[in-house]
Amino acid sequence: MNREECSHWRALTATLGYVFQDHRLLMNACTHRSFTNENPSAPYSDNERLEFLGDAVLQLCISDELMNRFPAYTEGQLSKMRAAVVNEQSLANLARKFGLGECLLLGKGEESSGGREKSSLLADAFEAVIAAVFLDGGYERASVLIRNLFAQLITEGSGAGPHFQDYKSALQEYCQNRFHETPRYLLQSESGPDHDKTFVVEIQIAGMMETTGVGKSRKEAEQQVAKKAWDFFTAAAEP
């Protein structure tokens, strides 16, 4: 680890307001698979297992917070709000706010392709950091951190603001009410190297609409094509 990497990680922990007892957990959270592939003797593993755990911790903590803050909301309302608050873009934005991209250990290919700014990569790393806090300090510490980090997002998301619109959820509810069926998302293509893939997803709605969306992850492509369909139907409904 060089001096610059140390300074980035110190800045990250200071911004998060959490001091790790086991710094190896933070190192693992910041290590992308491309780095371990190119450096098999590196002392850290990649962050994919931590990402898996961090996603579950985030879902649990945010669900608990939403139930406490909105006791009158139904399961459907809570699910939509959680999806609006915890998604790739919101996690990536938080990662950028804390300078997480500068802390990442990336392979040369990922580095040269702008990996430090990729939303999918930043969101995954953010989930890994959440898992690292959970493993290092336990559920209560992770829960407090998550509540603080997401307080503003929850407040804004509860108003269904357009920046936090989960188009897949909104479109699904619309299609169920109007067509009595849900949209179908079909992966049309997946191209490019591992560090810079492009996904094309087609949406099919009630036999009356087919269009495609493109993204750097399948989730991003699905949200993009859902937005196109949502914009089409809402525009058609305007007088």
pLDDT score recorded for residue 162: 38
pLDDT score recorded for residue 88: 86
Q: Has residue 71 got a pLDDT over 90?
A: no
Taking the C-alpha atoms of residue 184 and residue 202, their distance in angstroms, rounded to an integer, is: 8
pLDDT score recorded for residue 102: 87
Q: Is 127 a catalytic residue?
A: yes
Q: What is the pLDDT of residues 12-36, one digit of tens each?
A: 888 888 889 998 999 999 999 999 9
Name the pLDDT band for 5 (thresholds 50, 70, 90): low
**Mean pLDDT score across all residues of the chain:** 85
- Domains of the chain (ranges; CATH) run 3-160 (1.10.1520.10), 167-237 (3.30.160.20)
Catalytic residue from among 51, 55, 65, 124: 55
Q: How far is Cα of residue 162 from the mean position of the Cα atoms in its chain?
A: 17
pLDDT score recorded for residue 157: 61
Q: What is the pLDDT of residues 190-215, one digit of tens each?
A: 998 887 789 999 999 988 889 999 98
Task: Kindly state the percentage of the chain with pLDDT values over 90.
Answer: 39
Q: Has residue 4 got a pLDDT over 70?
A: no
- Measured CA to CA in angstroms, residue 141 lies from 18, 46, 99, 117 at distances of 9, 23, 21, 28
Q: What is the pLDDT of residues 127-142, one digit of tens each?
A: 999 999 999 999 999 9
pLDDT score recorded for residue 207: 87
Taking the C-alpha atoms of residue 16 and residue 9, their distance in angstroms, rounded to an integer, is: 11
pLDDT score recorded for residue 187: 96
The tokens for 19 are 């001091």
In contact, 148 and 188? CB cutoff 8 Å:
no
Taking the C-alpha atoms of residue 109 and residue 103, their distance in angstroms, rounded to an integer, is: 17
> What's the average model confidence in pLDDT over 85-96?
88
Contacts of 192 (CB under 8 A, 6+ apart): 198
Closest CA to 164 of 88, 231, 96: 88
Read off the pTM.
0.65
Q: What is the pLDDT of residues 98-122, one digit of tens each?
A: 889 888 999 998 888 888 888 889 9
Q: Is 55 a catalytic residue?
A: yes
DSSP state letters, 138-188: -HHHHHHHHHHHHHHHHHHHTTT-GGG--HHHHHHHHHHHHHSS--EEEEE
Catalytic residue from among 51, 88, 124, 127: 127
Taking the C-alpha atoms of residue 168 and residue 227, their distance in angstroms, rounded to an integer, is: 8
> What's the average model confidence in pLDDT over 149-157?
80
